[in-house]
Structure 1
Amino acid sequence: MAAFPVQLPLAQKDILDDITNEIKQFDWETGECLFSDFIEYFQLPQIIRVSQSWETNLVKNDILYLQSIHDRHLIISKSLFPDDRTFIVPDWFQGQCRVLSANPIYKPRWWEFTNALELLRFKMPREHIRLLRDTSVLLLLPTNQTIPVLLKQNTHLTLNRIEKSATITNGKEMFVLMDKNDQEFLLDPTDTTNVFHFATKILDDEFDSSYHKNTADSLFTLPEIIIRYELPIDIEFTSSINTVPIPNFPTKLRLEKFCIGKSIIAFSIGDPNHPRILELSSLTQFSLNCIKCLTTGLPRDTSVSEETPTFDENAYIHYERVRDRLIQLFEDISLQYIRTPFIGTKEEIDCIEQAHDVGVKLKNEDQGETFIVLNEANNANNESSSVIPSISKHPARFTVHLPADFNSPYSNVMDLGDDDEDHEIPPSTNT
């Protein structure tokens, strides 16, 4: 995990002294809880006390304020001038930048729809229709007979025409879609049981005329760069560079690869004279004690001889007030931290590269058959058409994830790893 000292003004240091003294008077649970279990069950922010630190650099009985779990796109970046360092720049960074690459490659952009009648927006034929979920359709055979099939998610189709036939479509108007193998499918837009969730690629002439212009005056944020352009790309920061606490941080960088990094931002406040900000992976292995008023009513270890506690409303109100004061005290500091670039370790760089490469592989993977005959669907669902590579080791300060749609960095994230089996991790494997 990463740990850095926090410099507080005298007035804020006095506030932290008062808060810490109050926390030490709390009624703490005697039982221990694993960190990973605690953050999964309790919504952050919360206040905890370290019990067994195992092989982390935490201190037993230290008090931690777990502020929040953050998702950031972490971008591997290297200076355009000789520099041995590799930087990791979060997309939360507040600086603006301009594109230096002479011919940057634009990413495909997509419109998403959930109604088949939205297909009427487009002239036919229309290529680059992408399914965003499995869809029931009719496979149109050369004999004009049809059989029900299931078109697979992420299949790319062409919208060919509208078909209306007394024999083929039973008198209904249906859309005719064609896959890469020139097989045609009939889609009934009036079938309310079949949500047609699809996306269409935005064509160049459908963008505003200013979208594809790169000039010295065109300034972007990092999220805009990730959404608009393929990596690698050369950029120059034009603002906020002076806020980066890295000596000789370069203004001109090549953005190479990225992934989503999820981490817990926490503050060590057991010693109010030396507060620290911590960044922890959710896989960090240590045990903790929490405040008793949080656990009232939860299942308890029956092997421990202890009276069942009753809910203490006054204690909970006191806890809430202390927690609110910590939120106000550390909110700006934590925001500044997650926006700040840092020098990546080899482990962090390797993990980001692995996650990025898995995403590219999934994005470019050419699936075989585009559909499943419905009476074969149950058997096919039990067979994985492709194996998603897993990343068995994550950095100490974050876990790596990739966007479900690699062309849309702000879509849902896809976890890396095998969730089908439970793997027991000994305390010493994650620090």
Structure 2
Amino acid sequence: MTLFPLDLAESQKETLVTIADEIKQFDWEVGEYLFHDFIEYFQLPQIIRVSQPWDTNLVKNDILYLQSMYDRHLILSKSLLSDERTFILPDWFQGQCRVLSSNPTYKSRWWQFTNAMELLRFEMPREHIRLLRDTSALLLLPTNQTIPVLLKENTEVTLKRIEKSTTITNGKEMFVLGDKNDQEFLLDPTQATDSFHFATKILDDEFDKSYHKNTSENLFTLPEIIIRYELPLDIEIVSLADTIPIENFPTQLRLEKYSIAKSIIAVSIGDPNQPRILELSSLTQFSLQCVTCLTTGLPRDSTVDGTTRVFDENAYRQYESVREKLVQLLEDASIQYMRTPFVGDKEEVDCIAEVYNIGMQLKREEKNQTYTVIGDADSTTNESNNGQPSINNHPARFTVHLPVDFNSPYSSIMEVSEEEEDDHEVQPPAAATAATT
């Protein structure tokens, strides 16, 4: 994890001291949660007390305000001038950038549709039709017989023609799709009207004329850049570069690789006169205690004599009041931290690079078979995860993920590995195993 002093105005420090006095009145649970269990069960923001710090730089009994869990695209960047440092730019950075590369490579862009009849928009043949979910179809054999199959998600097919035959399609009009192996499939739009989800690649002549013009005069945000261009890409930061707290920060950079990072921003307020901001991974190993009003009524929650604890409405209202004050006081500082570039250490840089390389490998891979036969037990078995590339370690300040589709990096997020999180965690000492409340 990372830990930095948090600069607050004097009036804000006074407010925090008042809030700290209110927190002293809280009734804390005796039992403990593991951190990753707590953030999975309770929605953030929350206020916690560190119990067992284990192998972290946390302090026992320190009070932490857990702001939220954030997803960001972190971009590895190198100076275009001589500089050994690797900078990590979050896509939350608010500055604008100019593209310096003379011939940047544009990413493919796709239209998405959820109705089979939308295929009528396009002249046939139309290549690069990507299926966004498994789709039932009929495999058309050379004998004009058909076999029910399931076209796999992310398969690319060609919209070839419309078939209407008394012998093949029973007189219906059906779309004929072709895969890369020159196999043809019949799609009945009357059965797949609202369930046929597909995307089609936007062709160069279908873009506005301004899209591919010289980019040296145009300014973009980082999200716009990683959606629009393939990496590596040379850029210049033309606004807000002077606010980046890095000595001799270069404004001309080469963007090389990126991944999605998930992290929790927290503020240490045990000493309200010296608040500190923390960024930590969801896999960080320490135990904590929460206030009793959060756990009242849970099945495992009971007093020593076995009777169920009565819900204390006043205590809960006090907790909610304090939490809301912390949100108003610290949210802007937390978000500003998430927007700020930083110098990456070797572990962080290597991890992002490995995830990016995995994504590029998955993007290039093609499977020979584009469909499974419905009802065929051998062909409908789930693909094994054993061959799925994965990483073994995550940086202390975030966990890493990769986009499902590097052509559309903001579409959704997938885990790097299907393995259990325990595979990536450093287990606490056996003697320090926490007891849940």
* 1:352-367 equivalences in 2 (<5 Å): 352-367=352-367
Change (3 A) 1:45 1:420: closer
Q: CA deviation at 1:378?
A: 6.2
Tell me the equivalent position of 2:427. 426
Q: How far does residue 50 in structure 1 lie from its aligned partner after superposition?
A: 0.3
Matched, 1:200 2:190: no
CA distance in 2, matches of 1:64, 1:188: 57
Identity %: 71
* Aligned residue number for residue 157 of structure 2: 157
- In structure 2, relative to structure 1, the CA distance for the partners of 1:421 and 1:397 (3 Å cut) is closer
> Aligned partners of 1:415, 1:385: CA distance in 2, in Å?
12
Measure, in 2, the Cα distance between the counterparts of 1:388 and 1:133: 20
Structure 2, unaligned stretches of length 5 or more? Answer: 431-437
1:301 CA drift (Å): 6.3
Structure 1 residues 109 and 342, CA gap change in structure 2 (3 angstroms): same
Partner of 1:389: 389
Q: What is the CA distance between 1:295 and its match in structure 2? A: 0.5
Change in CA separation of 1:8 and 1:209 when aligned onto 2, cut-off 3 Å: same
Q: Give the aligned partner of residue 168 of structure 2.
A: 168
Matched to 2:391, the amino acid is: I
Is the Cα–Cα contact under 8 Å of residues 99 and 214 in structure 1 kept in the other structure? no
Amino acid at match of 1:426: Q
User: How many Å separate the matches in 2 of 1:200 and 1:318?
Assistant: 54
| Compared CA separation, residues 95 and 194, structure 1 to 2 (3 A) | closer
Q: Distance in 2 between matches of 1:251 and 1:420?
A: 40
Q: Give 1:216 shift.
A: 2.7
Deviation, 1:390, is: 1.1
Q: How does 1:99-118 map to 2 (within 5 A)?
A: 99-118=99-118
SS in 1 for 2:163: strand
Residue 387 of structure 1: how far off its partner (Å): 2.4
Verify the 8 A CA contact 1:136 1:194 in the aligned structure 2: no
- Is 1:226 the counterpart of 2:244? The answer is no
Q: How does 1:1-400 map to 2 (within 5 A)?
A: 1-192=1-192, 195-300=195-300, 305=305, 307-376=307-376, 379-384=379-384, 387-400=387-400
Does the residue aligned with 1:375 lie in a helix, a strand or coil?
coil
Deviation at 1:391, TM superposition (A): 1.2
Deviation at 1:134, TM superposition (A): 1.1
1:297 is paired with a residue of what secondary structure?
Answer: coil
CA distance in 2, matches of 1:327, 1:180: 53
Contact kept? 1:163, 1:174, Cα under 8 Å: yes
Cα shift at 1:304: 5.4
Q: Distance in 1 between matches of 2:399 and 2:123?
A: 44
- 1: CA distance, partners of 2:341 / 2:429: 29
Question: Any gaps of 5 or more consecutive residues in structure 1?
Answer: none
TM-score w.r.t. length of structure 1: 0.96
Distance 1:305 1:53, change over 3 A: farther
1:386–1:139 distance in 2 versus 1, CA, 3 Å:
farther
Task: Give the letter aligned to residue 255 of structure 2.
Answer: L
**Contact 1:257 / 1:356 at 8 angstroms: preserved in 2?**
yes
Q: Give the 3-state SS of the residue equivalent to 1:369 in structure 2.
A: coil
Contact 2:373 2:379 (8 Å CA) reproduced: no
Q: Secondary structure at the match of 2:380?
A: helix
Distance 1:390 1:302 in 2: 42
Shift of 1:30: 0.7
Change (3 A) 1:421 1:273: closer
Q: 1:136 to 1:53 in 2, by over 3 A?
A: same
SS of the aligned residue for 1:264 comes to: strand
Contact 2:114 2:197 in 1 (8 A): yes
Q: Map Cα deviations across residues 107-158 of structure 1 (whole Å, 9 max, x no partner).
A: 0001111111110010000000011111110011111111111111111110
- Does the CA-based 8 Å contact 1:285-1:428 persist in structure 2? no
Do 1:95 and 1:238's aligned partners in 2 also have CA atoms closer than 8 Å?
yes
Q: What root-mean-square deviation, in Å, do the aligned CA atoms of Structure 1 and Structure 2 show?
A: 1.8
Q: Is the CA contact (8 Å cut-off) linking 2:116 and 2:192 kept in structure 1?
A: no
Aligned equivalents of 1:385, 1:125: Cα separation in 2? 36
- Tell me, in whole angstroms, the C-alpha distance in 1 between the residues paired with 2:194 and 2:370: 18
For 2:147 and 2:216, how far apart are their aligned partners in 1?
56
Whichever residue aligns with residue 427 of structure 2, its letter is: P
Shift of 1:299: 2.4
Q: Is the 8 A contact 1:76 1:349 kept in 2?
A: yes
Answer yes or no: is the 8 Å Cα contact 1:135–1:194 preserved in 2: no
For 1:380 and 1:350, locate their aligned partners in 2 and report how far apart those are by CA, in whole Å: 37
Q: Is the CA contact (8 Å cut-off) linking 1:267 and 1:276 kept in structure 2?
A: yes
Shift of 1:193: 8.4
Corresponding residue of 2:435: none
Q: Which AA in structure 2 matches 1:254?
A: R
Report Cα offsets for 1:355-390 as digits up to 9, x if no partner.
111111111111111111112256532343882211
What is the CA–CA distance in structure 2 between the aligned matches of 1:331 and 1:36, rounded to whole Å? 22
| Aligned residues of 1:35 and 1:288 also touching (Cα < 8 A) | yes
Distance verdict in 2 for CA 1:331–1:255, change over 3 Å: same
Give the number of aligned pairs: 429
Distance 2:30 2:164 in 1: 73
8 Å CA contact 2:116–2:193 kept in 1: the answer is no
TM-score by structure 2 length?
A: 0.95
Amino acid paired to 2:72: R
Deviation of 1:82 after TM superposition, in Å, equals 0.2
Distance 1:383 1:15 in 2: 55
